[in-house]
Structure 1
Amino acid sequence: MSQQKRVTSYDVAREAGVSQSAVSRVFRPGFSVSKKTREKVIATANEMGYRPNAIARMLITKQSGMVAVILSSRANLNYPEVLSELNKELALNNKRVLLFTLDHADELDELLENIWTFQVDGVIALAAHFDSKSLDLFAKHSTPIVLYNRNVPESSANTVCCNHEKGIKQLIDLLHNSNHKSYLIIAGPDDSDVANERREIAESYLQALKVQDTPVIYGDYGYESARNSLAQWLKTNPLPDAIICSNDVMAIGVIDEIKQNLNLSVPDDVSVVGFDGISAAAWYNYQITTIQQPMKQLTKAAVDILMERIENPQAAAEARVFTGSLITGNSIKQR
């Protein structure tokens, strides 16, 4: 049985009675073509079963049409929604997501070598640590990158970020104004830029409020890590008035540990706050006081900045910071 010949743009042009360049313009977003020609070409293409060849388009435009998204294996529960929004925004710009996951920071070099082979048009990095050496590689490969939800003050990188400082201070003010005296910080992994920033802000602000010697323990952003680290710490330390968690997932783990293994209550015996504003934080058994990140604004800004750098590689680096929303739950006791 002979294989049917693939329909080309020249076949469509001949059948529709237009030039091949007119067919190309119809299927290339942003190119001008009359309504009459567009309708005629699309009708003919549909009838003949024609679809534009992405590889051929790449050779013409010198762009792959792909954007690499780097996601940490310790993903925030918000990130499936973030990925969905990124995919929508990129699709509006005729780009497609190529997803890479990063388990450990020391695997970044190998991952980047893999990315270069796909000749992606750009990169959006979620929850991955990039030092100045790694960022320099993107300039070397002429590949624009946007760092999602992180500040990199020492580098001229394109970034979009929630205002972690304002959010953390809002949470601590609620605790401080409710007469909490002793605090415990449960930070995220120490190789996470976001976790380190949130921890440093909390430590610094508590010191400014004359709270002395606030202990810090670490989790990996995960539910079990928060439960385990708190249980281990409480073996030799008393329960504090308030626990500040680096994200909502760990706050949920802390609340379950306190209720199930200590037979205590949140907020009657201890107050707990989180960060991110994931949907589970509002569930009836938790109702965590937290900061909800402006996810749609962040994702749109990340794509906008990336597209601008793809079209204009010489554009100066840009940092956009957005304010999160304070969500007042039932996890803080009025003392």
Structure 2
Amino acid sequence: MADRPVTSVDVARLAGVSQSAVSRYFTPGASVSARMAEKIREASDTLGYRPNVLARSLITGRSRIVGLVVHYLENQFYPEVVEKLSVALQAQGYHVLLFMAQRTVGDVGPVVQDILDYRVDAIVMVSVSVSSVLAERCAALSIPVLLFNRDQPATGLRAVTSDNIEGGRLAAQVLLAGGARRIGHLAGFEEAQTQIEREQGFTEALAEAGQSISARAVGNYHYAQAAEATRALMADRPDAIFAADDHMAFAALDVIRHEFRLRVPEDVAVVGFDDVPMAAWPSFDLTTIRQRRDLMVEGAVADLIAAIEGEEGDTPRKRRIPPELVERGTTRRA
């Protein structure tokens, strides 16, 4: 007959403490004395005991697990955000399960169903859209959903983003300050709210200065597609390009410098958006619009826990974190 699983009762018996003390020891936020904690730890290690988180959730109604859905990790912005979100949630006693969505827009229902099977306390969608039907289903199950770096105003979901309109305006202003006259736009995924708002702010600021976008191509937030889109933009001979994220800006810089043999910023100035770590590398030295990730993560975790604890209020909060212009070597001043 197979050995039966080790239980908290076994740990309590070996440690010489109550079973409730063992339960408190393995419950984030609960407290036991240092001496008791040491006894329980030694007994647990000796017996090879680990609590069954999913089984406990059936009793407590809380798994202390947050599902994190990400579209792709090629762009440096996302691994950093995933790390910061995970660390911040773990500091609050929550565990993170990472799930990969197949595409940015479409049916993420199967992925969310997988998450729900783990009886998660909340779901964070990092630059992933969710249908209104799916949002309603999660609401019916009392599972908070938070959109990070993406918003869908029609869903009424809680969301944390940068002020993308202001970021687009900052990008236009720094290019105009450098004397740019033929300004191209390297757009991201057309249906993404981030793209829509960044381009809106960009075009508004240009219009206020009596200018407009001279050429536009879509890079879909992917390096290879952005490189091809940059080649199309260069047919218009722009003297400046605003890329809707740093990942595409890197592609633009590579094409401009190595294929067209032009100087940056003397011949073509380039501005990105995000301020990922690579943007500061000497080989790129990219002027960009910084998303203040620490403040975004801080706000997301605070709103998520408030929702889990039932302290959110009647209307889910939408945060817009002001971005910052970071000037480096890919732009000029007139």
* TM-score normalised according to structure 1 size: 0.90
Identical pairs, percent = 31
- Distance of 1:113 and 1:8 partners within structure 2: 30
Alpha-carbon distance, 1:102 to partner: 2.2
Q: Which amino acid aligns with 1:321?
A: R
1:306 aligned residue = 304
Secondary structure at the counterpart of residue 130 of structure 1: coil
- Contact 2:167/2:198 (<8 A) preserved: no
- Distance of 2:162 and 2:188 partners within structure 1: 17
Q: How much is the aligned-residue C-alpha RMSD, in angstroms?
A: 2.3
Judging changes above 3 Å, is the alpha-carbon distance between structure 1 residues 3 and 74 closer, same or farther for their aligned structure 2 residues? closer
Secondary structure at the counterpart of residue 252 of structure 1: helix
Give aligned pairs, total. 332
Q: Which amino acid aligns with 1:144?
A: P
1:219 aligned residue = 219
- Distance of 2:213 and 2:167 partners within structure 1: 22
1:91 aligned residue = 90
Extract structure 1 runs of 4+ deviating beyond 6 A: none
1:195-206 paired onto structure 2 within 5 Å: 195-206=195-206
User: Larger deviation: 321-330 or 102-111?
Assistant: 102-111
2:187 aligned residue = 187
User: Larger deviation: 100-109 or 253-262?
Assistant: 100-109
- Distance of 2:294 and 2:234 partners within structure 1: 39
Secondary structure at the counterpart of residue 185 of structure 2: strand
1:59 aligned residue = 58
1:209 aligned residue = 209
2:242 aligned residue = 244
2:108 aligned residue = 108
- Contact 1:273/1:289 (<8 A) preserved: yes
Q: Which amino acid aligns with 2:263?
A: S
Judging changes above 3 Å, is the alpha-carbon distance between structure 1 residues 49 and 154 closer, same or farther for their aligned structure 2 residues? closer
- Distance of 1:128 and 1:6 partners within structure 2: 39
- Distance of 1:46 and 1:124 partners within structure 2: 33
Q: Which amino acid aligns with 1:9?
A: S
- Contact 2:124/2:148 (<8 A) preserved: yes
1:278 aligns with 2:314: no
* TM-score normalised according to structure 2 size: 0.90
Q: Which amino acid aligns with 1:58?
A: S
1:1-335 paired onto structure 2 within 5 Å: 4-73=3-72, 75-104=74-103, 105-212=105-212, 214-235=214-235, 238-312=236-310, 315=313, 316-335=315-334
- Distance of 2:6 and 2:141 partners within structure 1: 36
- Distance of 2:3 and 2:118 partners within structure 1: 30
- Distance of 1:40 and 1:102 partners within structure 2: 43
- Distance of 2:158 and 2:70 partners within structure 1: 17
For structure 1, the residue ranges without an aligned partner over 5 or more in a row are none
- Contact 1:129/1:193 (<8 A) preserved: no
Alpha-carbon distance, 1:314 to partner: 6.2
Judging changes above 3 Å, is the alpha-carbon distance between structure 1 residues 39 and 116 closer, same or farther for their aligned structure 2 residues? closer
Alpha-carbon distance, 1:89 to partner: 1.9
